[in-house]
Amino acid sequence: MYLSSLSTGSYEIEDIDKDEASNRYFLVPAKNVIEIPNQGDMRTPEFPQSHTVIALYPGTTCFYKAVVVKPPEKSNPRRYLLAFDDDEDARRLVEAQYVLEVPDDIK
């Protein structure tokens, strides 16, 4: 997915997963866009165990609600162990860059 900011307070989003036959471009209000930090701009402190977040589901381009099972460790500081909603008790590792605070309007 690629974003380009417009002077209208909106973003033009290109969905790179869409096939060529359908519309790949969408105009989205800025209030509906969540910025994903660059890998070098990681925030601290990390989310604690049992904290609800949204995170990029591995192997997809979609963010889903999840609960932190284990925050990053010193030996692996860039990955969270998460339990995603409706994922049958599976635990998945996700890069910290793609683990974000749940926006207020979807808590």
Are both 27 and 52 inside the same structural domain?
no
For the chain, 107 residues long, the average pLDDT of each consecutive 10-residue run is: 66 75 79 79 76 94 94 84 94 93 81
- Quote the domain boundaries for residue 48: 44-106
pLDDT for residue 10: 85
Contact call for residues 15 and 28 (beta carbons, < 8 A) = no
Please provide the distance, in angstroms rounded to a whole number, between the alpha carbons at the two ends of the chain.
24
In the sheet with 2-5, reading across from the earlier edge strand, the strands are 2-5, 10-14, 25-29
Are both 20 and 59 inside the same structural domain?
no
> If you ran DSSP here, which 8-state letter would residue 61 be given?
S
User: What is the tally of structural domains in the chain?
Assistant: 2
Mapped onto helix, strand or coil, the DSSP state of residue 41 is helix
Are both 60 and 84 inside the same structural domain?
yes
pLDDT for residue 83: 97
pLDDT for residue 27: 85
pLDDT for residue 19: 66
- Could you tell me which residues are beta bridge partners of residue 79? 95
Which residues, 6+ apart, have CB-to-CB distance to 2 below 8 Å?
13, 14, 16
pTM: 0.78
pLDDT for residue 47: 93
pLDDT for residue 42: 62
pLDDT for residue 25: 82
Are both 65 and 85 inside the same structural domain?
yes
